[in-house]
Chain A
Amino acid sequence: MRNIIPILTVVGLLILVWYGAAVALNAQWARDVAARADKTLTFSELVADTWSQEKPKLPAPHQVGAELWETTVMKKVTSKRSLVYHTWVTFSATFLGFVMGTALGTLLAVGIVFNRTMDMSVMPWVIASQTIPILAIAPMIIVVLNAVGLSGLLPKAIISMYLSFFPVVVGMVKGLRSPDQMQLDQMRTWHASGMQTFWKLRLPSSMPYFFTSLKVGVAASLVGAIVGEMPTGAVAGLGARLLAGSYYGQTVQIWSALIMAAALAAVMVGLIGLVQRVTLKRMGMAQ
Chain B
Amino acid sequence: MQENQSVISARNLDLTFQTNDGPIHALKDVNLEINKGDFVSFIGPSGCGKTTFLRVMADLEQPTGGEVTINGVSPEEARRARAYGYVFQAAGLYPWRTIGGNIRLPLEIMGIPKAEQAERVKRVLDLVELSGFEKKFPWQLSGGMQQRASIARALSFDADILLMDEPFGALDEIVRDHLNEQLLKLWARTEKTIAFVTHSIPEAVYLSTKIVVMSPRPGRITDVIESPLPRERPLEIRETPEFLEIAHRVREGLRAGHGDD
Chain A positions near chain B (C-beta within 8 angstroms): 182-183, 185-192, 196, 200-201, 204, 282-285
Smallest CB separation, B146 vs chain A (Å): 12
Chain B positions near chain A (C-beta within 8 angstroms): 58-60, 79-80, 82, 84-86, 88-90, 92, 94-96, 105-106, 108-110, 137-139, 157
* B108 with A186: CB separation less than 8 A: no
Known: A191-B79, A192-B109, A284-B137. A186 touches B96 (CB 8 A): no
* A204 with B90: CB separation less than 8 A: no
* B96 with A190: CB separation less than 8 A: no
A244, B46: Cα distance in complex, Å = 72
* A283 with B95: CB separation less than 8 A: yes
A283, B95: Cα distance in complex, Å = 6
Known: A189-B58, A189-B60. A285 touches B96 (CB 8 A): yes
Smallest CB separation, B14 vs chain A (Å): 22
A283, B98: Cα distance in complex, Å = 10
> Which of these, B84, B92, B96, B109, contacts A283 with CB under 8 Å?
B96
Q: List 27 A-B contacts (CB under 8 A).
A: A182-B89, A182-B90, A182-B92, A183-B92, A185-B86, A185-B88, A186-B88, A186-B92, A187-B109, A188-B60, A189-B58, A189-B84, A189-B86, A190-B106, A191-B79, A191-B80, A191-B82, A191-B110, A200-B105, A200-B108, A204-B94, A204-B96, A282-B96, A283-B95, A284-B95, A284-B96, A284-B139
Chain B's closest residue to A188 (CB) is B60
Q: Which residues of B have CB within 8 Å of A192?
A: 109
Q: Which residues of B have CB within 8 Å of A189?
A: 58, 60, 79, 84-86
Smallest CB separation, A278 vs chain B (Å): 13
A284, B136: Cα distance in complex, Å = 11
Smallest CB separation, B133 vs chain A (Å): 15
Chain B's closest residue to A196 (CB) is B109
Chain B's closest residue to A201 (CB) is B94
